[in-house]
Chain A
Amino acid sequence: MELTINGKKRQVDAAPDTPLLWVIREELGLTGTKYGCGAAQCGACTVLADGRPIRSCVMPVSSVANQAITTIEGIEEDPVGRRVVEAWVEHQVPQCGYCQSGQVLTATALLKQSARPGEAEIAAAMVNLCRCGTYNAIADAMQQLAKG
Chain B
Amino acid sequence: MMPMNMPQLPESLPTDGQPLNLSRRRFMGASLGALVLGVLLPGKVVRAVQSVASETKPGARIPAFLEIRPDGTALLRSPFVEGGQGIYTAFAQIVGEELDIAPERFSVECAPPGADYLLVNGARFTGGSFSVRSSYEVMRRLGASARHMLLQAAAAKLEVPLDSLATQPGIVVHEASGRTLGHGELAALAAELSPPEQVPLREKKDFRWIGKPVPRLDARDKSTGKVTYNIDLEVDGMLLAAVQHAPRMGGEPEAIANEAEVRAMPGVHSIHRLPGAVAVVAQRWWQARRAVESLKISWKEAAPGTPHAMPADFSSAGMRAALAAAPGPGIAAEEIGDAARALKQASRVIEATYDAPYLAHGQLEPPSAIARWNADGTLELWLPNQAPELFQQAAAKAAGIAPEQIILHSSPLGGFFGRHFLYGTANPFPQAIQLAKAVGRPVKLIWSREEEFLRDALRPMGLARFRAGIDENGLPQALYAEAVGESPTERWFGRQPDKANKSAVEGIARKPYAIPNRRVAQVYLEHPPTIGYWRSVGHSMNDFFYESFLDEVADAGQQDPYALRLRLLADKPRHKALLQAVAELSGGWKRGPFTAGDGSQRARGVAMASPFGIRQRGRHHRRGVHRGRFGGGSRCLGGLRPRQHRQPRHRRGPGEVRRGARAFVHPA
**Are A and B co-members of a single complex?**
yes
Which A residues fall within an 8 A CB radius of B?
15, 18-19, 22, 25-29, 31-39, 42, 44, 71-73, 75-76, 85, 88-89, 92-101, 104, 120, 122-124, 126-127, 129-136, 138-139
In the bound complex, what is the Cα–Cα distance between A118 and B496 (angstroms)? Answer: 58
Query: How many whole Å from A37's CB to the nearest CB in chain B?
Result: 5
A-B contacts, 7 of them at CB < 8 A, read A19-B286, A29-B6, A96-B412, A101-B225, A126-B630, A130-B364, A139-B630
* Contact of B275 with A by CB under 8 A: no
Contact B632 A136 (CB under 8 A): yes
Q: Which A residues are in CB contact (< 8 Å) with B365?
A: 34, 36, 96, 98
Query: How many whole Å from B133's CB to the nearest CB in chain A?
Result: 20
Q: Which B residues are in CB contact (< 8 Å) with A122?
A: 630
Tell me the B586-641 residues at the A interface (CB within 8 Å). Answer: 627-634
What would 12 more interface pairs be, CB under 8 Å, given A100-B223, A120-B628? A15-B266, A22-B286, A26-B286, A27-B284, A29-B234, A31-B232, A32-B224, A73-B224, A89-B215, A94-B218, A96-B363, A101-B225
In the bound complex, what is the Cα–Cα distance between A132 and B419 (angstroms)? Answer: 13
Query: How many whole Å from A78's CB to the nearest CB in chain B?
Result: 12
Contact B224 A96 (CB under 8 A): no
Q: Which A residues are in CB contact (< 8 Å) with B5?
A: 29, 31
* Contact of B26 with A by CB under 8 A: no
Contact A97 B218 (CB under 8 A): yes
Residue of A nearest to B3 (CB): A29
Query: How many whole Å from A6's CB to the nearest CB in chain B?
Result: 11
Which B residues fall within an 8 A CB radius of A?
3-7, 83-86, 215-216, 218-229, 231-232, 234, 240, 266, 284-286, 362-366, 412-417, 446, 448-450, 627-634
Contact A72 B224 (CB under 8 A): yes
Given contacts A31-B232, A71-B225, A72-B225, contact A123 B628 (CB under 8 A): yes
The DSSP consensus for interface residues of chain B is: loop
Q: Which of B84, B223, B240 contacts A85 (CB 8 A)?
A: B223
Complex A-B, nearest 5 residue pairs according to Cβ-Cβ distance, in ascending order: A32-B225, A97-B222, A123-B628, A96-B84, A98-B414
In the bound complex, what is the Cα–Cα distance between A103 and B86 (angstroms)? Answer: 19
Q: Which A residues are in CB contact (< 8 Å) with B215?
A: 89, 92
In the bound complex, what is the Cα–Cα distance between A85 and B117 (angstroms)? Answer: 35
Q: Which B residues are in CB contact (< 8 Å) with A89?
A: 215, 219-220, 223
Q: Which of B224, B226, B449 contacts A37 (CB 8 A)?
A: B449
Contact B632 A133 (CB under 8 A): yes
Q: Which A residues are in CB contact (< 8 Å) with B284?
A: 22, 26-27
In the bound complex, what is the Cα–Cα distance between A76 and B221 (angstroms)? Answer: 12
Query: How many whole Å from B448's CB to the nearest CB in chain A?
Result: 6
Contact B227 A97 (CB under 8 A): yes
Q: Which B residues are in CB contact (< 8 Å) with A134?
A: 634
In the bound complex, what is the Cα–Cα distance between A37 and B215 (angstroms)? Answer: 30
Given contacts A88-B223, A132-B634, contact A96 B414 (CB under 8 A): yes
Query: How many whole Å from B622's CB to the nearest CB in chain A?
Result: 16
Contact A92 B414 (CB under 8 A): no
Query: How many whole Å from B170's CB to the nearest CB in chain A?
Result: 22
Contact B229 A88 (CB under 8 A): no
Contact A123 B227 (CB under 8 A): no
Given contacts A32-B224, A72-B225, A136-B631, contact A26 B413 (CB under 8 A): no
Q: Which of B222, B285, B631 contacts A94 (CB 8 A)?
A: B222
Q: Which A residues are in CB contact (< 8 Å) with B218?
A: 94, 97
Query: How many whole Å from B107's CB to the nearest CB in chain A?
Result: 15
Residue of A nearest to B240 (CB): A26
Contact A98 B216 (CB under 8 A): no
In the bound complex, what is the Cα–Cα distance between A131 and B629 (angstroms)? Answer: 12
Given contacts A18-B286, A98-B415, A131-B415, contact A93 B634 (CB under 8 A): no
Q: Which B residues are in CB contact (< 8 Å) with A99?
A: 364
In the bound complex, what is the Cα–Cα distance between A126 and B629 (angstroms)? Answer: 8
Q: Which B residues are in CB contact (< 8 Å) with A18?
A: 286
Given contacts A36-B449, A96-B415, contact A127 B629 (CB under 8 A): yes
Residue of A nearest to B216 (CB): A92
In the bound complex, what is the Cα–Cα distance between A97 and B223 (angstroms)? Answer: 7
In the bound complex, what is the Cα–Cα distance between A148 and B436 (angstroms)? Answer: 52
Indicate the member of A22, A31, A138 with the most B CB atoms within 10 Å.
Answer: A31
Query: How many whole Å from A14's CB to the nearest CB in chain B?
Result: 8
Contact A97 B84 (CB under 8 A): yes
Query: How many whole Å from A110's CB to the nearest CB in chain B?
Result: 13
Q: Which A residues are in CB contact (< 8 Å) with B216?
A: 92, 94
Q: Which of B364, B448, B632, B634 contacts A98 (CB 8 A)?
A: B364
Q: Which B residues are in CB contact (< 8 Å) with A94?
A: 84, 216, 218-219, 222-223
In the bound complex, what is the Cα–Cα distance between A42 and B365 (angstroms)? Answer: 11
In the bound complex, what is the Cα–Cα distance between A33 and B219 (angstroms)? Answer: 17
In the bound complex, what is the Cα–Cα distance between A36 and B634 (angstroms)? Answer: 20
Contact A96 B364 (CB under 8 A): yes
Contact B219 A135 (CB under 8 A): no
Residue of B nearest to A43 (CB): B364
Q: Which B residues are in CB contact (< 8 Å) with A98?
A: 229, 363-365, 414-415
Q: Which B residues are in CB contact (< 8 Å) with A139?
A: 630-631
In the bound complex, what is the Cα–Cα distance between A123 and B632 (angstroms)? Answer: 12
In the bound complex, what is the Cα–Cα distance between A126 and B448 (angstroms)? Answer: 25
In the bound complex, what is the Cα–Cα distance between A19 and B631 (angstroms)? Answer: 33
Q: Which B residues are in CB contact (< 8 Å) with A26?
A: 3, 240, 284-286
Query: How many whole Å from B447's CB to the nearest CB in chain A?
Result: 11
In the bound complex, what is the Cα–Cα distance between A122 and B630 (angstroms)? Answer: 10
Q: Which of A33, A34, A88 contacts B364 (CB 8 A)?
A: A34
In the bound complex, what is the Cα–Cα distance between A21 and B446 (angstroms)? Answer: 15
Residue of B nearest to A41 (CB): B449
Given contacts A89-B219, A96-B414, A99-B364, contact A38 B224 (CB under 8 A): no
Residue of B nearest to A85 (CB): B223
In the bound complex, what is the Cα–Cα distance between A130 and B433 (angstroms)? Answer: 31
In the bound complex, what is the Cα–Cα distance between A25 and B368 (angstroms)? Answer: 15
Indicate the member of B3, B85, B240, B414 with the most A CB atoms within 10 Å.
Answer: B414
In the bound complex, what is the Cα–Cα distance between A32 and B220 (angstroms)? Answer: 13
Indicate the member of B216, B222, B366 with the most A CB atoms within 10 Å.
Answer: B222
Query: How many whole Å from A147's CB to the nearest CB in chain B?
Result: 17
In the bound complex, what is the Cα–Cα distance between A71 and B224 (angstroms)? Answer: 10
Residue of B nearest to A28 (CB): B3
Q: Which of B240, B414, B629, B634 contacts A97 (CB 8 A)?
A: B414
